[in-house]
Amino acid sequence: MNFPGTVKSKLHKTGTTIFTIMSGLAQEHGAINLSQGFPDFPVSPELIRLYHEHMLAGHNQYAPMPGYRPLREALCNKIEKLYTATYDPDTEITITAGGTQAIYTAITSIIKEGDEVIVFEPAYDCYVPAIELNGGIPVQLQLKGPDFHIDWNEVKKMVNQRTRMIMINTPHNPTGSILTAKDMLQLEKITHNRDIVIVSDEVYEHIIYDGYEHQSVMRYPKLAERSFVVFSFGKTYHATGWKAGYCMAPANLMAEFRKAHQFTVFSVNTPLQYALADYMNSTPSYESVSAFYQKKRDLFLKLTKKSRFKPLACSGSYFQLFDYSVISQEKDTDFAVRLTKEFGVASIPVSVFYKNPVDHKILRFCFAKEDETLEKAAAKLCQI
């Protein structure tokens, strides 16, 4: 069936997300799926028990629109401890249906027709469509390789009267790079005395390696006062399918966020919020996540050392980039498909995260997997 009239797409350049495409292809060909980022190991049985317990206890009706109060409190306490930032649980935090929704709602609540939004490429794929759906104009600047850092001089040149928002992401998906204290100070300088809002995607805050400290915008009061900061329970608690996250921002920004949130999502899964609050208050729940994933990263690097895939630096997130240019000169999109179909390992081609595809011959592999899965995948990669 089709609508008989004309459909004027609001997103005529946008197709199906690469994560859905590559996971579908992996399934179709029985390949090991290191494409879409999600763990293949179980969630804490204690967290599942709490979730179940709260369902049985009858906590099954709407949660308050901004989220279950004790969960908001637990999160504000955590942020205070980690980043010495004070957020009011009543007015400065909202529980969301995952990071993607938080990002979309933050953009929607601020961006109007013609507003410019600076994004850095390769950019996680939900940013640009969210800007465009709101009539905003994405201004794409490229991260500079091989370490994918921001060229702040370029940012300075692009900022003008129409710049309404800058989006940052650390640890960064898809590259695994991180922002440093110096980056944050540059951002502080550039946004000083300007009407620029920051969206800081920090969903991988607890997945950072080699002793680096996560540079949340919250550590910088001058940045925090102009930022929506987006976090994810799915990444930290290995439960991406629960689609739960949260957004924190100063009260006047959060008030706008909630105006949009209440009419798109209204409120988020109640028993899950009870369970998360209990879990956070009773169990050390995030302290060991970085060490856990660093072991996985190191194992994956060791297992692939003899392959012809050349790893790039990964300081955070659960993604490892590999340069395959020694193996093939095929486009990364083609090579990723062939790797899935012929060699049984699915990955993500990085060029899709650019407005005008830049093909560095790099693929992204997710190592949030059982050691056994990584061993099997690495064995295949070593044969290519």
Looking at beta carbons only, is 220 or 233 nearer to ligand GLN? 233
User: Any contact of residue 25 with ligand GLN (CB under 6 A)?
Assistant: no
Residue 188 identity:
E
207 versus 223: smaller Cβ distance to ligand GLN: 207
Using an 8 Å Cβ cutoff, are 293 and 318 in contact?
yes
Q: Answer whether 115's CB lies under 8 Å from 164's CB.
A: yes
**Nearer to ligand GLN by C-beta: 34 or 229?**
34
How far apart are the C-alpha atoms of 155 and 150, rounded to whole Å? 8
> Apex CA 94: angle with CA 180 and CA 225, to 5°?
45
Q: Which of residues 140-199 bind ligand GLN (CB under 6 A)?
A: 173
Q: Which two tokens stand for residue 380?
A: 């295949």
Rounded to whole angstroms, the Cα distance separating 330 from 244 reads: 38
Q: Which of residues 237-266 bind ligand GLN (CB under 6 A)?
A: none
Q: How far is the CB of 41 from ligand GLN (least distance, A)?
A: 16
Q: How far is the CB of 317 from ligand GLN (least distance, A)?
A: 8
Please identify, using beta-carbon distances, which residue of 124 and 220 lies nearer to ligand GLN. 124
Query: Minimal distance in Å, beta carbon 347 to ligand GLN?
Result: 10
Binding mask 291-320 for ligand GLN (x = CB under 6 A): ------------------------------
CB of 321 to ligand GLN, least distance (A): 13
CA distance 33 to 354: 23
CA-to-CA distance for 370 and 39, rounded, in angstroms? 8
- What's the rounded Cα separation, in Å, for the pair 367 and 321? 10
Q: By the 8 A CB rule, do 312 and 362 touch?
A: yes
Q: Which is nearer to ligand GLN, 37 or 176 (CB)?
A: 37
Closest distance of CB 17 from ligand GLN, Å = 6
Q: How far is the CB of 191 from ligand GLN (least distance, A)?
A: 26
Coil, helix or strand at residue 89: coil
Considering beta carbons, is residue 232 or 307 the nearer one to ligand GLN? Answer: 232
Name which of 101 and 163 has its Cβ closer to ligand GLN: 101
CB of 348 to ligand GLN, least distance (A): 7
How many alpha carbons lie under 13 Å from residue 366 in its C-beta half-sphere?
Answer: 21
Q: Closest approach of Cβ 21 to ligand GLN, in Å? A: 10
CB nearer ligand GLN, residue 36 or residue 307: 36
Cα 129 versus chain centre, distance: 15
The residues in 28-67 that bind ligand GLN, with binding defined as CB under 6 A, are 36-37
Closest-CA residue to 229 (of 212, 254, 194):
254
Q: Which is nearer to ligand GLN, 274 or 353 (CB)?
A: 353
Kindly write down the DSSP assignment for every residue of 204-262, as one continuous string. Answer: TTT-B-TTPPP--GGG-HHHHTTEEEEEEHHHHTT-GGG--EEEE--HHHHHHHHHHHH
- Name every residue whose Cβ is closer than 8 Å to that of residue 158 and which is 6 or more positions away in sequence: 118, 139, 141
Sorted by sequence, the CB contacts under 8 Å of residue 252 that are 6+ apart come out as: none
- For the bound state, the minimum distance from the C-beta of residue 252 to ligand GLN, rounded and expressed in Å, comes to 29
Note the residues at the interface with ligand GLN (CB under 6 A): 17, 19, 36-37, 173
